[in-house]
Structure 1
Amino acid sequence: MTNNLFKKKVLFILLFAISNFVQAQKSLVLWYDKPSGNVWERALPIGNGKIGAMVYGNVSQEILQLNETSVWTGSPNRNDNPDALASLPAVRKLVFDGKQKEAEILSEKTIQSKKSNGQIFQPVGSLNLRFANHENYTNYRRELNIERAISTTTYSVDGVQYTRTSFVSSPTNTLVVRITANKANSISLDAFFTTPQKNVKLSTNSRKQLILHGATAGHEGVEGNQLKFNALTTFKQQGGSITSNDTLTKITGANEVIIYVNIATNFNSYKDLSGNEIARTEADLQKALPKPYATLLNEHVANFQSFFNRVKLDLGSNPAAEQKPTDVRLDEFRTNNDPTFASLYFQYGRYLLISSSKIGGQPANLQGIWNNKMFPSWDSKYTININTQMNYWPAEKTNLSEMHEPLLKMVKELSETGQETARIMYGSRGWVAHHNTDLWRITGPVDRIFWGVWSMGGAWLCQHLWERYLYTGNKAYLAEIYPILKGASLFFVDDLVEDPRNKYLVINPGTSPENAPAAHQGSSFDAGVTMDNQIVFDMLSVTIRAAELLKKDQQLVDTLKTIRKRLSPMRIGQYNQVQEWMEDIDSPNDKHRHISHLYGLFPSNQISPYRTPELFVGANNTLIQRGDVSTGWSMGWKVNWWARMLDGNHAHLLIQNQLSPLGVNAAGGGTYPNLFDAHAPFQIDGNFGCTSGIAEMLVQSHDGAIHLLPALPDFWKEKGSISGLKTRGGFEIVKMTWTNGKVTSLQIKSTIGGNCRLRIGAALKGKNVNLQTAKGENSNPLFITEETAKPIISPKASIILASIPPTFLYDFTTEKGKVYTFDVQ
């Protein structure tokens, strides 16, 4: 009796633990009770940073739509306009004379690219799996487990339960699909490739493998048929038979089928296409094929979780909502308190970054790594006037530093190609990149000059190089990136010109991305626009700091400091707003999706409640005037802005707006059923932007201290926890818990040592640390905030400073590798 009772207790404990584990897993699963059909935005994304696949989950004809990170049109090319340099004096004079439209018309002829406006990221094709007599099915479910990076589809036909499991392995660079049934000899299928690519050959070989080999086309005069790609599908079945014809492989009566898909190109770099795409697919296949399926799966999960599991987030729960399919939860989120859905979306952004950006691949583009169109919107390029940068806002802070690497490499490559653009078009030293680039690292203007004249892309991207240093404190890395920072600043040294009206040094021609004031007759051109000034300020400042830390280029440092003092300060206009342009011509009725002049609030730190209160209030007014609902990515940016405004409830409202089905927000974006962000159409930057914004609501470290729970909304106040977020100075939040909106426990790890400054809404007590009330500037150089000039305030403005919630500010000295524990008094 005693022994049986003990066994029952052990069994109960195990079942309870398993139940809790399963419940925990549900919070990190997207699931649906119907197939995608032919709707790409319902399919589920998997990837490893090189190969991407969209799994449709259809029953009778499954589709796995395939991408490879380097499959782009064209070949190595440049798009500089050599006529620009001679025309610059005339263009600048027209702008200074208030003839912006005339300057734009002249620039269309002399600065706008006469060559390519960028090449196109394109699909490889689709692997199709056709199952006979599977039209009538029951017990259907498909899901994406973002904690394990596995897509699973299950259903029953005639009493037989079928399971398909798909993942893209990083260790073997292979897409793996396993098909099982609970009855022997029940799996029969036809497998074949389809592709929208034109220059391709579909075939099979003696090993019954499917082969899709081709080359991408040229575009806008850039030579094609140079970038070659190869997709190879291999089958391993238990039981049954396998046959093939010219383009199809047939499996009949199998017990289990494992499918391996390998894709590669001949791309080595933006200037080298000498790789062997066929040999590469075969080499990757040989990494995967000899391994048992269980080994492949376990290696894949272990690799993925080595990144994903670094951060855990608990915002509370709503058990009733968590039992519903993901598309239903999406539909109800804006009117339902479902905090687990917000944490799911946060982690989904991290999942997408891990899956679309890995060392050895390309950076996540406008759609990450997933695209089914030959001519996607905006060519699915790298739009570097916000969208590409937004993709990587979560990288350092959500503990995915490795995922940052492809972007940092691209910045280095742009610093190489951008030197010629700076020389030819501006007669300048250093390097420059405009508002868009592609696989071939073009740096000249792209598309209409209305957008393309913007020359801040390279300098903004440099802030990502600097951010990596601020999070790691790695001096060797700083020495590596210093020439890139220096080159971007040297361009400004030569390109800035004196405004004859006020003697400030300004960028001319400049533009506030994609917007134009009514006062300029529809032209976007101007001189000394606010965002240009902010980015130039940041670029000069980080170069100065880097040079001082490395103890080099003192003469350049002196020059940059002199130039920085002559930049135009930010301004508060007649509507109590941060001005977008140097003139006070903003309209409070302007609802434009870009609010570029708040770059200084986020991702920069030039606007602060503690250092620049007038600008802080002006930013608040600007955000209110622009409104909440906009395109999906714009709402993602606004989550970050409202977090920086210390307004968690408004930030949460933007999350609700963004996490609304497309069509709900009148004249605005939203989210597709698979939780892809809708501009519309799909742009992945909104996903990444919102993930960054949620992190900013919980922890910030840009303003001289680690600020804990700076913008916690009422929806999340009751109880929650976060672990694994990183901050400037090499600190990691090992774990932070809160109850009723107040921190209840805290552990912080120091990875490099140095002073740690904490800002918190309640008094702290350290268990193994000597806390001191903080005074003056943070002694940790990784937290230094550069002081901007005092704003110029319009006589018509009536700024009433906001009351900022009181906080406690503490300093304590840390040692490398040590964890510090605190209680809240």
Structure 2
Amino acid sequence: MKLMSFRICVYVVMVNCVAISHAIAQQSTYQLWYSKPAEKWTDALPIGNGRIGAMIFAGVEQDRIQFNEETLWTGAPRDYNRKGAANYLSEIRKLLFEGKQEAAEKLATEKFMGTQSATGDRNKWTADMKALKGITGSPAEENYDDLQWKTINVPSYEGWETVGLSGLDGAVWFRTTIDVPDDWVGKNLVLDLNRIRDHDFTFVNGTLVGNTDGTSPRKYTIPAKLIKKGKNVIAIQVLNYFDKGGIAGYKDTSRAIAVYPEGAEPQNGISLVKAWKYKIQNDEPPMAPQFQASYQPFGELYLNFKNPSVTVSNYKRKLDLSTAIASTSYTLNGVNYLREYFASQPNQAIVIRLTADKKGSISLDVVLGSPHKYAAVKKIDANTISLSLRVRGGALKGESQLKAVVTKGKLLVGQDKIAITGADEVILYLTAGTNFISDKNVSGIPANACLKALAGLKDKTYVQVKAAHLKEYQKYYKAFSISFGNSDNEKLPTDERIERFAAAHDAPLAALYVQYGRYLLISSSRPGTQPANLQGIWNDLLTPPWGSKYTTNINLEMNYWPTGPLNLPAMNEPLFKKTAVLAKNGAITAKEHYNANGWVLHHNTDLWNGTAPINASNHGIWVSGAGWLSQHLWEHYRFTQDRVFLKNEAYPLMKQAAVFFVDFLIKDSKTGWLISTPSNSPENGGLVAGPAMDHQIIRTLFKNCIAASELLGTDAEFSKVLQNKLTLLAPNQIGKYGQLQEWLEDKDDTTNKHRHVSHLWGVHPGNDITWDNPEMMRAAKQSLLYRGDEGTGWSLAWKINFWSRFKDGDHAMKMVKMLISPAAKGGGAYINLFDAHPPFQIDGNFGGAAGIAEMLLQSHTQFVELLPALPVDLPEGEVKGICARGGFELSFKWSKGVLISVEVKSNEDSVCLLRYGNRITSIATQKGAVYKLNGDLEKL
């Protein structure tokens, strides 16, 4: 232990780090660590430099490093808007005003939604597959020779991708047999397969018994004449056009797909849950039409070690949040091995270093691969190989280059791998790039990013590369620190801490969760990159959940909630750059779909910055994305007080978002109010007139634009227009159950437990509803009580923020414990602390981190309020570098639930109105000055 401390101190001095003793003391606190390798992708540990991300599995015999590059997506530049959609706007509105929601949604689906990408000839392909093109003989036949076929577990509700056919779309044959008992002969049987994706042709003993296209349940009758005693053959041709494929069966795994006599109970039949034989007939189905594109995995790096298979001891894999370095250590055959991994932003590479405490002990094969069908690996030079690929049916191509630097030993580069034998040390540099330049330009050369990165690494030592990585990363990470005391559970692996968190006194795990959220945001949203998508920059699937896109009716915005309070303003830059491009595209959508000026954004976007409504009209027509993103622009100003940013970047975008709503809002004939229609309350209740969330966002946007114009001394006439509109805009309303109404009409269902609680936007992240209006705040709280505590991961995270704003810290902490619990059907966390929707979505990590900060400090009203929602489970703590609106940076301590001391640093000449409980103090601050106070807010 003394030797380890010595090594840390020497290294910190080398790289000129500060606060050495603090770093050593906090080392174990802010780590994720485990005593066994990752088995699943959501066990692995993430690293990233904003552009390139990787997941580290850390196996002993084989280490898998799955990696991504932020601009590898499906799709291509195209026009997402539907020409002439605005011609149907008035009719859709008329139908909604008449209460004809179904008719309005039908018309909107047919005439108003955005366009889809081009599709191939599905009919021809299906005919070719039915004609058995690409396969010898007919696998439907009873005596077909399938001895050489592979096996696969059936069913697979989440698609055959989850049981071994990753990324496959196409035609696949499945075969199995059943042994029919004597007393079944002469009876009709039921073949219950439930769902199959997408189209099946199902045969029994060579005869077709049914075929269905779609996801409706399959329950076919097998005529008695087809059945014989003993062995019977079931053969199914499955045609999967896109995404999840195969025999899906029942989501409820207690129900088995089965064969049983008519009139009998399924559980008394023959289960078909087992390994079936399968054969891929064709993996080139016609391209399926898509409203938007999907984020893609790039490749896999495998380190296949040649050490003898003997017992491993002292195994540990970890991720140190303070350094953004993952590591794997273990003892094998008397030799201590160490691997280090980090994603360097200065050198734009994934860096991996392998060492051992005995010379000549490192031998392995290094292999590159990709899930993309069109991918190839080749030798570049004596220590470099490359992986080139293209996305099927899309415009994007990619290249990754891997360079090995070996000390002693032998290195041999082949066409598809690097073989290393008897080395003392191995350093691997993994790079990646694509041909993406912008949403209109894909003329780039994929290899250029790799060549530039490797040229920059030339003649640099590992120590230099690591030092540059630490300096760049820690300028963000070290701006903030948090501690909730100590816990006995800190000595446990992270997966065990998650399992015990709900019932344990492990407050430090909540602090770790905050810093992990900051780590993930730094790692997936550096200045100069794309913003963090639904999965940050980490994805291993060709058809990821929800396309791993940018969902703008909560999820993208939630990703950026930590930037203000948790002192990460620079991480906003990718979001704001994307917002500027979305505004250009959204101006076209505003004209085509609404005949309005300004810009509009609906509920989703992608790499190509689509702004038109997508998917189905009952949730895809939601008009407030631009308004919500404008809130982030204004909030960035409020936290930083950067007037240059407000003038040159924020206000122009905010104003044009407001211009759209000035044109879009329409008078409701029943109430006389201006309302938003058509729209919806995400993603609940269908297409409506006048959802409360829209009005809260619009009202807040108008107020922010008025304040900004006053600050900048501009647009006085436009400000008057907005002030007038504000007096006419539909207000928040309290319904018959004492709830905040979600819609214009008082029609809330108190039994509805929907994961979205959109009408509470005004409570958080907005400030349209605060304790300045206690009656409305209580109504909002009542709505949340009706909606309940359960939810997906991101929904749980949002509820932490709500309960914090309601100043109920104990209820907020209850939600924290639900969020940091083993992943289940209703949210939680995977063992690597990734948020579980489920499946993985990163927004819950960011929303949860911001929510815990909201328990400690709030500044959305005139006050900077300390410990407004402190739960009893966090009696001790200290936070440094937490930020408040107004340009204030605070550090404070508390003990036994009571504030002890406060420091306020001001980034602007202004007044800080500080509040703790019933105590209020006003500080006239000067830029750069620090003000110290005691727990009674008395100046020291």
TM above 0.5, yes or no, is yes
1:738 and 2:900 correspond: no
Deviations 1:204-252 (A, max 9, x none): 122231201122233xxxxx2x322110000000111111221111001
User: Which SS does the other structure have where 1:461 is aligned?
Assistant: helix
- Equivalent residues in 2 for 1:123-522 (5 A)? 123-136=297-310, 137-218=312-393, 224=394, 226-318=395-487, 320-480=488-648, 481-516=650-685
Q: 2:808 aligns with which of 625, 637, 647?
A: 647
Would you say the 8 A contact 2:327–2:339 is kept in 1? Answer: yes
Deviation at 1:475, TM superposition (A): 1.9
Q: 1:578 aligns with which of 716, 731, 740?
A: 740
Between Structure 1 and Structure 2, the one with more strand by share is 2
Letter in 1 for 2:473: F
Residue 308 to residue 60, structure 1, CA distance change in 2 (3 Å):
same
1:534 and 2:696 correspond: yes
Q: Hey, what does 1:779 align to over in structure 2?
A: none
Q: Hey, what does 1:557 align to over in structure 2?
A: 719
Deviation at 1:574, TM superposition (A): 1.3
1:616 and 2:782 correspond: no
Deviation at 1:134, TM superposition (A): 4.8
**1: distance between equivalents of 2:734 and 2:616?**
31
Q: Hey, what does 1:758 align to over in structure 2?
A: 914
Would you say the 8 A contact 1:265–1:277 is kept in 2? Answer: yes
**2: distance between equivalents of 1:315 and 1:114?**
51
Q: Hey, what does 1:693 align to over in structure 2?
A: 851
Residue 464 to residue 20, structure 1, CA distance change in 2 (3 Å):
closer
Would you say the 8 A contact 1:59–1:134 is kept in 2? Answer: no
User: Which SS does the other structure have where 1:406 is aligned?
Assistant: helix
Would you say the 8 A contact 1:192–1:210 is kept in 2? Answer: no
User: Which SS does the other structure have where 1:178 is aligned?
Assistant: strand
Would you say the 8 A contact 1:754–1:815 is kept in 2? Answer: yes
1:716 and 2:891 correspond: no
- For normalisation by structure 2, the TM-score amounts to 0.78
Deviation at 1:18, TM superposition (A): 9.4
**2: distance between equivalents of 1:86 and 1:731?**
49
Q: 2:754 aligns with which of 582, 592, 611?
A: 592
Deviation at 1:288, TM superposition (A): 2.0
Q: Structure 1 residues 142-151 or 535-544, which shifts more?
A: 535-544
**1: distance between equivalents of 2:750 and 2:539?**
37
User: Which SS does the other structure have where 1:725 is aligned?
Assistant: strand
- Equivalent residues in 2 for 1:113-132 (5 A)? 113-116=114-117, 117-132=291-306
Q: Structure 1 residues 267-276 or 284-293, which shifts more?
A: 267-276
**1: distance between equivalents of 2:604 and 2:401?**
33
Residue 754 to residue 242, structure 1, CA distance change in 2 (3 Å):
same
Q: Hey, what does 1:520 align to over in structure 2?
A: none
Would you say the 8 A contact 1:74–1:217 is kept in 2? Answer: no
- Equivalent residues in 2 for 1:28-107 (5 A)? 28-37=30-39, 39-107=40-108
| Identical counterparts, % of pairs | 42
1:660 and 2:662 correspond: no
**2: distance between equivalents of 1:290 and 1:217?**
38
Deviation at 1:473, TM superposition (A): 1.8
Residue 48 to residue 496, structure 1, CA distance change in 2 (3 Å):
same
Deviations 1:96-135 (A, max 9, x none): 0111111001101011223241101001111111012453
Letter in 2 for 1:366: L
**2: distance between equivalents of 1:255 and 1:588?**
66
Deviation at 1:19, TM superposition (A): 9.5
Task: Please list every run of 5 or more consecutive structure 2 residues that lacks an aligned counterpart in the other structure.
Answer: 11-18, 118-290
Would you say the 8 A contact 1:85–1:427 is kept in 2? Answer: yes
What number of residue pairs does the alignment pair up? 747
Residue 18 to residue 526, structure 1, CA distance change in 2 (3 Å):
closer
User: Which SS does the other structure have where 1:76 is aligned?
Assistant: coil
Deviation at 1:484, TM superposition (A): 1.0
Task: Please list every run of 5 or more consecutive structure 1 residues that lacks an aligned counterpart in the other structure.
Answer: 1-9, 219-223, 517-523, 762-806
Deviation at 1:824, TM superposition (A): 2.7
Letter in 2 for 1:756: C
Residue 112 to residue 313, structure 1, CA distance change in 2 (3 Å):
same
Q: Hey, what does 2:764 align to over in structure 1?
A: 602
Question: Could you say which structure has the larger radius of gyration?
Answer: 2
CA RMSD of aligned residues (A): 1.6
Deviation at 1:20, TM superposition (A): 8.2
Q: Hey, what does 1:772 align to over in structure 2?
A: none
Q: Structure 1 residues 242-251 or 331-340, which shifts more?
A: 242-251
**1: distance between equivalents of 2:380 and 2:456?**
20
- For normalisation by structure 1, the TM-score amounts to 0.89
**1: distance between equivalents of 2:773 and 2:22?**
48
Deviations 1:633-655 (A, max 9, x none): 00000000001000110000000
Q: Hey, what does 2:834 align to over in structure 1?
A: 676
Deviation at 1:21, TM superposition (A): 5.7
Deviation at 1:325, TM superposition (A): 0.4
Deviations 1:380-422 (A, max 9, x none): 0000000000000001211100111100111111011111000
Would you say the 8 A contact 1:174–1:288 is kept in 2? Answer: no
User: Which SS does the other structure have where 1:600 is aligned?
Assistant: coil
**2: distance between equivalents of 1:427 and 1:346?**
44
**2: distance between equivalents of 1:701 and 1:743?**
17
**2: distance between equivalents of 1:495 and 1:82?**
18
Residue 21 to residue 569, structure 1, CA distance change in 2 (3 Å):
closer
Deviation at 1:23, TM superposition (A): 4.8
Deviation at 1:287, TM superposition (A): 1.6
Deviations 1:677-705 (A, max 9, x none): 00000000000000000110001110111
Residue 575 to residue 257, structure 1, CA distance change in 2 (3 Å):
same
1:566 and 2:568 correspond: no
Q: Hey, what does 2:926 align to over in structure 1?
A: 815
User: Which SS does the other structure have where 2:564 is aligned?
Assistant: helix
Would you say the 8 A contact 1:216–1:228 is kept in 2? Answer: yes
Residue 669 to residue 540, structure 1, CA distance change in 2 (3 Å):
same
Would you say the 8 A contact 2:382–2:413 is kept in 1? Answer: no
User: Which SS does the other structure have where 1:563 is aligned?
Assistant: helix
Deviation at 1:545, TM superposition (A): 1.6
User: Which SS does the other structure have where 2:521 is aligned?
Assistant: helix
Would you say the 8 A contact 1:210–1:248 is kept in 2? Answer: yes
**2: distance between equivalents of 1:431 and 1:388?**
18
**2: distance between equivalents of 1:563 and 1:144?**
52
**2: distance between equivalents of 1:400 and 1:72?**
27
